[in-house]
With several copies, the nearest count.
Chain A
């Protein structure tokens, strides 16, 4: 006697590669201000990104992970989140951070090797960048649990890369989100690569979204280069979380248009032709074309905004470069709320050495 249990995930797209609607657009498309703000954030992110890479190349910044190709989904996430929600990022979420109020200078400090780059003023409850892959997923369910325990109608949104979806942290957290009906949205940013490892080597599953099924959660694939599809799916998932209806997994399909980080050389393992085709699907261009078609944007506006972005980034870079490093004693001062007596001697030693450099 055989019985069948059926499951599904859906996938969503609204715009084709030329910015032409494939379908009726969702209601968010009529919110012109939101769409324009989104586009502007994408361009700002891209401008910042190029500059950070340039700084690294000239020795003025550390290893930096480019967000090229992540601007659309990152922006959609930033817009979908309420200020009172908590964002749990991985390390390629610059577009979202900007909308949360993280400053360009803070981002530069962080990648420039200064811990103060995570002391975000504008979004003090957001979690900092998580370097150990997927570990942040567990924090996300913890934050969501805190909201549920306190009866707060707040939600958590957690990003993780396609590579990260292979790691236990993600899978365990997804499972808890389902078991506990937590107000959390997981966004798996599937940019097709985990450093040199292509998506197909991460999992035999056809989609990443279907990993939701094993946790009893709804899963959606969305074109992460399609702004309207992204906001539509994100808004719905966050509404669900806010309403106490539980968690969602969204797979946002995009492409890592740059190297993994400035320490990487993707030409070693990646086909030039594949990269070229990915540029055809670039979501920033796609939204710009749509805005042009709507008469909401033009070359002049583009030029003005690009100039403004450059100016803002330039200012942030100057402020960043003018920032003195912390004193060496800082390495002990935030370790505990109060320095334990056992460490007093070490702090004295640090304090007594000028900057702690070579003697």
Chain B
């Protein structure tokens, strides 16, 4: 090819681009899910794949998430690299037994004889005025499952690079796409098939006073909060965790060693969210560095309200700013 294939794309387009790239370069990659072939996915993430790679490799399934999860496992044990879509994260629970009891365990169970190089994709999170069950952020349920990676991109570039890494990874990855920012920004992506590293946080912004730790759509509000705080002379280090499990504690602890303060931001409800693990890890690992308690800015411990009240549930820029001011004041 001549020169880089640069494209200005949204996050969801980057997902689509990565799928196209990998299907073209690895014939073992197949895609399955509800409405993903002919319709191209309800969010258009898989559009064009069926036309490019045929119905054999791009499969509309019957409506059964447990079946989708389990079929992908069966495929993966035979050397395919299935990328299975849950139409919304709110419908992943029916697939839980397959994910927890099989996808995450097949390699360990068979001492490496069989393994599951598969990706489960699901749009997740609230803020798009959707009906009930269309706004889930339950990444914590999966982060607790040994053998499973949970990866969350928060920009088009990271969506592209991390999805390629996820598909190439020899072990199962739950790839959660923050649908609130599916089309929020456009970024130049070099369509060169280069993956980004898994298991690694991305430091989006360096700062001295406080470490802001977040992932997914909340990266947006967190960066905005960092801007506002910069105007007040407070510099924030902003870290996108990206792989929420296994957790790259080193990057987090290094940052807190420098700043002495941490604020965690996530949309999921607080109790038992991934923020709890992050906070516990920092509180333990950076005990002597901490000048203030690790604070969490999160959703409330309740069901995501229907859309008239969903903004009242979601962490806002002001909440993050307030939390930072609080920990700085200590």
Q: Are A and B direct contacts in the complex by CB distance below 8 Å? A: yes
Judge whether B180 is part of the interface by a CB distance below 8 angstroms. no
CA separation between A133 and B88, bound complex, in Å? 12
A167 touches B63 (CB 8 A): yes
CA separation between A135 and B301, bound complex, in Å? 24
A341 touches B91 (CB 8 A): no
Checking A115, A137, A163 against B108 with a beta-carbon cut-off of 8 angstroms, the contacting residue is: A115
One of B14-22, B75-83, B188-196 at the interface: B75-83
Scan A318-343; emit 1 where CB is below 8 A from any B CB, else 0. 00000001101011101111001111
Judge whether B186 is part of the interface by a CB distance below 8 angstroms. no
* 17 A-B interface contacts by CB (under 8 A): A63-B131, A115-B108, A115-B306, A124-B114, A131-B131, A138-B71, A142-B70, A146-B75, A149-B75, A168-B67, A194-B63, A196-B38, A197-B38, A334-B108, A337-B170, A341-B248, A358-B311
**How many A residues touch B, CB cutoff 8 Å?**
80
**Chain A residue contacts of B233, Cβ below 8 A:** none
**Chain A residue contacts of B113, Cβ below 8 A:** 118-120, 124, 128
Checking B42, B59, B77, B111 against A139 with a beta-carbon cut-off of 8 angstroms, the contacting residue is: B77
CA separation between A62 and B110, bound complex, in Å? 18
A325 touches B75 (CB 8 A): no
**Chain A residue contacts of B317, Cβ below 8 A:** 358-359
**Chain B residue contacts of A272, Cβ below 8 A:** none
Judge whether A116 is part of the interface by a CB distance below 8 angstroms. yes
B246 touches A268 (CB 8 A): no
| CB proximity of B148 to chain A, nearest CB, Å | 10
B130 touches A62 (CB 8 A): yes
Judge whether A28 is part of the interface by a CB distance below 8 angstroms. no
| CB proximity of A85 to chain B, nearest CB, Å | 12
Q: Residue on B with the closest CB to A357?
A: B311
CA separation between A147 and B38, bound complex, in Å? 22
A113 touches B98 (CB 8 A): no
Judge whether B294 is part of the interface by a CB distance below 8 angstroms. no
A132 touches B90 (CB 8 A): yes
**Which residues of A129-172 are within 8 A (CB) of B?**
130-135, 137-149, 163-164, 166-169, 172
Q: Residue on A with the closest CB to B319?
A: A359
**Chain A residue contacts of B70, Cβ below 8 A:** 135, 137-139, 141-142, 169, 173
A335 touches B74 (CB 8 A): no
Checking A176, A326, A332 against B71 with a beta-carbon cut-off of 8 angstroms, the contacting residue is: A176
**Chain B residue contacts of A263, Cβ below 8 A:** 42
B79 touches A146 (CB 8 A): yes
B302 touches A169 (CB 8 A): no
Judge whether B287 is part of the interface by a CB distance below 8 angstroms. no
4 closest residue pairs by CB, A with B: A142-B74, A138-B70, A356-B312, A359-B318
B34 touches A335 (CB 8 A): no
A167 touches B42 (CB 8 A): no
**Chain B residue contacts of A331, Cβ below 8 A:** 108, 300, 302-303, 305, 309, 312-313
B38 touches A332 (CB 8 A): no
**Chain A residue contacts of B101, Cβ below 8 A:** 132, 135
Known: A334-B107, A337-B170. A145 touches B75 (CB 8 A): yes
**Which residues of B284-317 are within 8 A (CB) of A?**
300-303, 305-313, 316-317
A340 touches B199 (CB 8 A): yes
A169 touches B66 (CB 8 A): yes
Interface centre among B76, B199, B303, B305, by most chain A C-beta atoms within 10 angstroms, is B305
**Chain B residue contacts of A7, Cβ below 8 A:** none
A336 touches B147 (CB 8 A): yes
